[in-house]
Amino acid sequence: MAVPKRKLSRSNTRHRRSQWKAKAPNLVKTVENGRVVYSRPTRPRSSKTQPAPRCTSSTRAARSLTSETVETDTTAALKKSLGIDIDPETFRLALTHRSFAFEAGGIPTNERLEFLGDSVLGLVATESLFYDNPDLPEGQLAKMRSAVVNTRALASIARRHGIGEHILLGKGEELTGGRNKDSILADTVEALIGATFVSRGREEAFAFVHRLIDGMLDDAVNLGAGMDFKTTLQEAAADLDLGTVSYEITSSGPDHAMVFTATAMLGVNNWGAGDGSSKKAAEAAAAEVAVKAIRTIYPDYRR
């Protein structure tokens, strides 16, 4: 037996009609075959979102090259201190340590410039010593050259010009005190020499090297002992009867980036102090200060 449909009351019908009208603004009214039809609007199908391009080593290198052309006040100050005018791209490359290059996705490092700069430095030092000291034998000239073309001497040049704070280092090298490591500082000086050769040519590169090392070459000739300042200090102290040489060492900073300070004592007198990333380097720096002080007080002293 069929169940008759339930008949809605007028009030119920009006209620449902008001609900439908409330939703009607979201519907589209069309007429089909004389009948009014309401339907929901169709949404345009959105195209598939393309994934963002991955950051590859080439894109990182491109970003790096873009930033190379921007010269900051600090880099301009460093160039002024060194007396060089290298183009920004080559200058940045000279300051790029391999640890930074690795973390940046394998961008170029300063090692090729360092290779070139080492040869330029050696040639200038050799030429100067050869022509300025015609009476000195080969062995003594070689000792003098090694006194200038070495890690400690180049690191002292870097510290004098504040090069360390501008070097681009990786996070690991940064945490272990890389900005004050003699090896990194010396390599960066050689890279800057190479960069000057590439960017400005042979003559300006040679002039740059002369500004860096001529004072040390004079010391190597005048102070003797191949500019091994600790040996020179021992000899001068004995010759001038200044007392026994000893060093007082102190240290500061965290374990991974400790800085040592040595004070050169001749007898009970303080003749100078120096800093270094190791006790040996600090003693050598202090001995250099003491030897130069002796040279000032005893200008006629020669060994």
Nearest to 283 by CA among 239, 216, 219, 229: 229
Cα–Cα dist 205/213, whole Å = 13
Known binder of ligand: residue 111?
Answer: no
Q: Is 87 a catalytic residue?
A: no
Question: Which is the catalytic residue, given 71, 89, 111, 118?
Answer: 118
Half-sphere exposure of 100 (CA within 13 A, CB side): 20
Q: Is 71 a catalytic residue?
A: no
Cα–Cα dist 278/275, whole Å = 8
Question: Which is the catalytic residue, given 173, 190, 219, 288?
Answer: 190
Strands (E), 34-192: 35-39
Locate 131 and state its tokens.
Answer: 């022509």
Known binder of ligand: residue 87?
Answer: no
Sign of torsion over alpha carbons 165, 171, 177, 178? negative
Q: How many residues does the chain have?
A: 303
Known binder of ligand: residue 187?
Answer: yes
The answer to whether the CB of 71 falls within 8 A of the CB of 86 is no
* Residue stretches of the annotated binding site: 114, 187, 190
The residues that are catalytic are 118, 190
* Residue stretches of the annotated binding site for Mg(2+): 114, 187, 190
